[in-house]
Amino acid sequence: MAGRTSVAWGSDLVQGAARFSDWRRSRELGARIPTPLWELAVKLASRHGVSRTSQALRVSYYSLQDRLEARGPASATSATNEQALSPTFVELPVAAIGTACECSLEFEKPCGAKLRVQLRGPQLPDLVALGREFWESR
C-alpha cells in the first residue's frame, strides 16, 4: 500500500507526511504545529492543491487554505516555468454571462481530462462548485 500512496501523492508529499508523522510521535499532547511544518505544508499545497495536501499531512483543510491565501501570490521571480505556463483564473461577471444567449466553458487538467459546459439562457449552475469538483477530482 505504501507504493500506491507514493505514486498517488508524489515523493515530496510522502516526505512531508513523514515529517508530520515524526513530529506527532514526539510532541507533547495539545502542542500546536510548529511554524516550519506549516511553511512546508503551504509550500506543498501550492504545488499539489489544498485538498490532496491536507489529506496527506492530516491537517485541517480550512487552516491550510487560510495559510495559503495569507501567503499571497508567489512572486514573479520565484515562479517556476510550470507555474508561469499554468492557466490563470478569470472571473466573469454574472451580468456578462446572464445577457448571453449561449456560452460554453471548457476546463482542462494537465493530465488531459476535460470538462465542457454548455450554458443556455439566463439560468446559471454553480460554476465555482462545478469547477472545484473537477479540479480536485482524481
Helix and strand tally (H, E) in the chain? Answer: 8, 2
Instruction: Enter the C-alpha cell of residue 70.
Output: 495569507
Query: pLDDT, tens digit, for every residue of 118-138?
Result: 877 766 777 778 878 887 877
DSSP run (H or E) holding 133:
helix 127-136
Phi first, then psi, for residue 122 (nearest 5°) are -80, -10
Is the pLDDT at 59 greater than 90, yes or no?
A: yes
Chain mean pLDDT for the chain: 77
Q: Rounded CA gap, 25 and 22, in Å?
A: 5
Q: What percent of the chain has pLDDT over 70?
A: 70
CA distance 131 to 51: 14
Q: Is pLDDT larger for residue 136 or for residue 97?
A: 136
Q: Which three cell numbers stand for residue 40?
A: 512546508
Coil, strand or helix at 113: coil
- 104-113's contacts with Cβ under 8 Å and 24+ in sequence apart are 107/131, 107/134, 107/135, 109/134, 109/135, 110/86, 113/137
Bridge partners of 120? 102
pLDDT at 89 > cutoff 60: yes
The answer to whether the Cα torsion of 94, 127, 51, 29 is positive or negative is positive
More confident residue, 118 or 3: 118
| Helix H or strand E segment including 104 | strand 102-108
pLDDT value at 1 more than 50: no
